[in-house]
Amino acid sequence: MTAGEFPHGGLGRMQRGRPGCALRGCYKALSVVLLLAQGALLDLYLIAGTDLYWCSWIATDLVVVAGWAIFYSKNSRGQKSNQGSLNPAGYGQGPRHKKGQFAYSHLAWLIYSIAFTPKVALILCTPIVDQIEAGVPLGSTGFRLTVSLSVPLLWALVRSLSADPRGWIYQRATGCFLASCLDLLDSYALLELMLEGRLPLAPLIRYPLLAVYFVALASPVLWLSELDSGAPAGCCRLFLRLLSGSLVDAPLLAMRCFLVLGPAGQPVSVFMLKNVFFLCCRWLEVLDLCCLLRSPGPQHADRPPGHSSHCVSENDMGPHGYVNTLAATSQN
C-alpha cells in the first residue's frame, strides 16, 4: 500500500490537488474582474449623474481591490504552510496553522460591503437614479445588472477558496451561498419596485428598504467567519446562525407583509413563503443542535471528515503509530 492510497493523507492526494489549485486561481481572477467591473460601472453612474468630482470613488475601488489581493495572498500562503506541515514523518499531527480554507474571507466580504453600500445608497436616494436613464448606455437596466453582480461575485469567492466538491466545507459553503443568494434576490426584487415607482409611501419606506438590502448583502460575513473557524457548532455558532437568519429573513418578511396589507395591496409573493420557510428551518436547526449538545452521548459525531482516526487512538497517529497502523492493516 502506497502513501497515495490513503484517504486522508499522502503525496498522491497533494498531486491530485494541483488541477484544483489552477481552478481556484481562475475563480480568483474572475472575482477580481467582477469586483472591478461593478466598481467601474457604479463610478460611471456617479460621474455621469453629477460631475468629475465623483472620480474620487475610483480610489475606493483601488482600496477594495488591494484589500482582496492581500486577502488572497495571505490565504494562499496559509494553505501552502498547511500543506508543507503534512509530511510523512508527521502524519496525522495536523497543520501548525489553525487557519482553514476560508481564512480572512469574512474580512474581504466586509470590506466589499462597506465600499459598495454608500455608492448604491447615493444613487438610489438622489436624482442620479433618474439621470442615468438618459445619460448612460443601458440606463436603469444597466444599473440593475450592475447591482446584481454581487451574487456571482460571492459565488466566485466561495469557489476560489474550496474547489473540491467532495469536501464537507464545500458542501456547507454551497448551502450557505444558496441561502444568501435567495436573500439577495428577494431584497433586489424590492429594490426594483422602488426603481419602477410602484412602492407605496416611497419617501418613508425607502430607507428601511435600503437597510434591509444592505443587511442581506453583509450577511455572508457571518457564515464566512463560521467556515473560517472550522470548529463544530457550539453555543456561539448557534447564536450566529440564528442571528443571521433573524436579521435578514425577519425584516424581509415584515416588508413583504406591509406591501400585501398596505395601501398598495400587492399580491402575495413567493418570497414570503421563502422567508417563513427559512426562519422555521433555522429555528429547527438550532433546536436540533441544542439537543445534540445536551445529549450525554459521544460528542464527535459531527466532526468534519479527516478529524477522526477511524478506530485508531490519538497516540497511534504519530510516526510510530503510523507504522503500527500499517502492521495492523496487513494482519487484517
pLDDT average, residue stretch 117-142: 78
Neighbours of 319 (CB within 10 A): 12
Residue 332 burial class via C-beta count within 10 angstroms: exposed 0-12, middle 13-18, buried 19 and up: exposed
Domains in the chain: boundaries = 17-78+98-295
Q: How confident is the model at residue 16 (pLDDT cuts 50, 70, 90)?
A: very low
Half-sphere exposure of 105 (CA within 13 A, CB side): 32
* C-alpha span between 245 and 241 (Å, rounded): 6
* C-alpha span between 156 and 164 (Å, rounded): 14
pLDDT of residue 313: 43
Return the biggest CA–CA distance within the chain. Answer: 79
Among the residue ranges 197-206, 247-256, 294-303, the one predicted with the least confidence is: 294-303
Mean pLDDT rounded to a whole number for the chain: 74
Question: What's the pLDDT tens digit per position in 275-308?
Answer: 898 888 888 877 777 787 776 655 544 445 444 4
pLDDT over 50 (residue 119): yes
Question: What's the pLDDT tens digit per position in 149-167?
Answer: 999 999 999 998 876 777 7
Q: Please, which residues have CB within 8 angstroms of residue 102's CB and are 6 or more apart in sequence?
A: 161, 162, 169, 173, 224, 227, 228
Question: SS3 for 203-259, per residue?
Answer: HHHHHHHHHHHHHHHHCHHHHHHHHHHCCCCCHHHHHHHHHHHHHHHHHHHHHHHHH
pLDDT average, residue stretch 244-253: 83
CA distances from 80 to 10, 84, 85, 328 (A): 15, 6, 9, 32
- Which three cell numbers, joined as nine digits, stand for 73? 495572498
pLDDT over 80 (residue 103): yes
- Which three cell numbers, joined as nine digits, stand for 256? 413583504
pLDDT of residue 83: 58
Residue 174 burial class via C-beta count within 10 angstroms: exposed 0-12, middle 13-18, buried 19 and up: middle
* C-alpha span between 277 and 273 (Å, rounded): 6
Q: How confident is the model at residue 171 (pLDDT cuts 50, 70, 90)?
A: confident
Question: SS3 for 77-139, per residue?
Answer: HHHHHHHHHCCHHHCCCCCCCCCCCCCCHHHHHHHHHHHHHHHHHHHHCCCHHHHHHHHCCCH
Amino acid making up residue 111 = I
Question: What's the pLDDT tens digit per position in 212-240?
Answer: 899 999 999 988 888 877 655 566 666 76
Amino acid making up residue 106 = H
